[in-house]
Structure 1
């Protein structure tokens, strides 16, 4: 008998997924690994304690809520599945979360089983250029499912290298690795996402990274409220995949430097 697990990146995708006729259990990945402290070993208690501390302090989240929404949900990975489907999107936020999920799975599973598939939404023309799974209906979910890609050991090794480089945070090292890799197999969206991350590692003469400078430019253009800044930022920067609360982190840094006042 097949035991199937679907891992959805965020709650927004659940409504569309529930409209499908797809069998299996559902796990919601609710972390935002593209921001905050990370350690290489995702299976360590210190990794999740550091994440809990940062999330609760940064987003004023309740520690019990984090335990319930994130840690307890991860417990589903302890069950035995013959097939795992990973539903993730093209942006940096999703791709770093994907690297984290692949890290956990690589430590927990024999690569001969279960079968692990990636279902990735890019800028799909057939879906009116929908940016996120949360914009799709059940029929469109099923269309994506039919085009899913099975991941093998090669992709897991590539993801492991990417995870270590991401944790290390060395821009030159990451750039060299991206340049040296000409084949991305079943994870082609990892490259543009990591190229976007490079822009966050590199700083200009003013000591600002790309995201900070972009937000400052928007502010200096006369857009002075947070909601309006969010909207202007996402017009051109969807590759970063951050929600409003993550953009706030960067705006707060600019405010601390007295470069903006909102």
Structure 2
């Protein structure tokens, strides 16, 4: 019988195909670390919420995004037609969130046999063919403990408050060794006490403390600070938007919001409007404002003063619901 291979995205699909491995490949394709993720047992309804968020945030056509999710979901729904299902995921936050969503899905599929997990400590999208082949040979049957751990992690991630997520992330999960560190990195994206900055936001401002710099350079510097790099260019741009277009801007110099000119992603070599917009954004020179310098010094509370609103998993961060996470102590602060 044929094999179903579920992995993180198109780059990984290309590398697996290039290595000559046989199977039907499905890229999971969702940056779950950004935007709302409801605690809904129905995969289609979760995908609808995700599609609405991504279309609005990134300037994409809603119907097209919905169609992509529907195509993806339909392929996992027919997993019973395959003799084996392999899950290929990396160590970083982007992949670990996708993995627990898939594990949560399979936790509700009775008596599913032939599930295998391939956990990579390196990035699938840049692997050489021999590395891909070696990883394929190291696959292990997916255990019930791994499935249940994934289900619990997904439940904590999609809960309306981050209390369970924090408790789960601070425990060691030997069956899924990359999951705890990844979720701790997610918690670091909650506003910090005093400054109201997430870890990524603080790193952005620190890169500008010595003077203006181009967006592409700041992205490269901040991206490299994570041992397990997870933040692609477009979600990074969304963070820049939040700093630049706030009521009291912390940075200045962006030409437009990420979603204002349609999708910024483009195929290399395409000379169309999407590529031009991307280059204009990535090439813009940005600088720290007085408010940004004050936030770095702990004298300006970005989350409070700018009434930050965003969602992380099932938690909504907003005025009156301003959850904070102290990266030094690992403690959550509930809204007043």
TM-score by length of 1: 0.87
Determine helix, strand or coil for the equivalent of 1:85. strand
The answer to whether 1:212 aligns with 2:211 is no
- Give the 3 Å change call, closer, same or farther, for CA 192–23 of structure 1 in structure 2: same
1:236 Cα shift?
Answer: 1.1
The answer to whether 1:184 aligns with 2:151 is no
What is the alpha-carbon distance in structure 1 between the residues aligned to residue 38 and residue 162 of structure 2?
17
1:170 Cα shift?
Answer: 4.2
**Is the contact between residue 196 and residue 240 of structure 1 (CA under 8 Å) also seen in structure 2?**
no
- Give the 3 Å change call, closer, same or farther, for CA 149–223 of structure 1 in structure 2: farther
The answer to whether 1:161 aligns with 2:160 is no
1:24 Cα shift?
Answer: 1.8
What is the aligned residue count?
249
What is the alpha-carbon distance in structure 2 between the residues aligned to residue 145 and residue 242 of structure 1?
26
Q: Which residue of 1 aligns with 2:107?
A: 106
What is the alpha-carbon distance in structure 2 between the residues aligned to residue 51 and residue 22 of structure 1?
31
Determine helix, strand or coil for the equivalent of 1:119. strand
What is the alpha-carbon distance in structure 2 between the residues aligned to residue 94 and residue 175 of structure 1?
19
Deviations 1:142-173 (A, max 9, x none): 10011122221111111111112112264554
- Give the 3 Å change call, closer, same or farther, for CA 47–210 of structure 1 in structure 2: same
Q: Which residue of 1 aligns with 2:51?
A: 52
Of 39-48 and 202-211, deviating more is: 39-48
What is the alpha-carbon distance in structure 2 between the residues aligned to residue 28 and residue 261 of structure 1?
36
For residues 200-239 of structure 1, what are the structure 2 equivalents within 5 Å?
Answer: 200-239=189-228
**Is the contact between residue 18 and residue 138 of structure 1 (CA under 8 Å) also seen in structure 2?**
no
- Give the 3 Å change call, closer, same or farther, for CA 60–204 of structure 1 in structure 2: same
**Is the contact between residue 52 and residue 63 of structure 1 (CA under 8 Å) also seen in structure 2?**
yes
Q: Which residue of 2 aligns with 1:34?
A: 33
**Is the contact between residue 99 and residue 159 of structure 1 (CA under 8 Å) also seen in structure 2?**
yes
Gaps of 5+ in 1: 124-131
**Is the contact between residue 3 and residue 84 of structure 2 (CA under 8 Å) also seen in structure 1?**
yes
For residues 66-215 of structure 1, what are the structure 2 equivalents within 5 Å?
Answer: 66-79=65-78, 80=80, 81-107=82-108, 109-110=109-110, 112-123=111-122, 132-168=123-159, 170-179=161-170, 181-185=171-175, 187-215=176-204
- Give the 3 Å change call, closer, same or farther, for CA 224–142 of structure 1 in structure 2: same
1:5 Cα shift?
Answer: 0.3
1:94 Cα shift?
Answer: 0.9
Gaps of 5+ in 2: 254-336
- Greater fraction helix: 1
What is the alpha-carbon distance in structure 1 between the residues aligned to residue 41 and residue 135 of structure 2?
29
Deviations 1:205-236 (A, max 9, x none): 11112121111111223352211111011121
**Is the contact between residue 51 and residue 69 of structure 2 (CA under 8 Å) also seen in structure 1?**
no
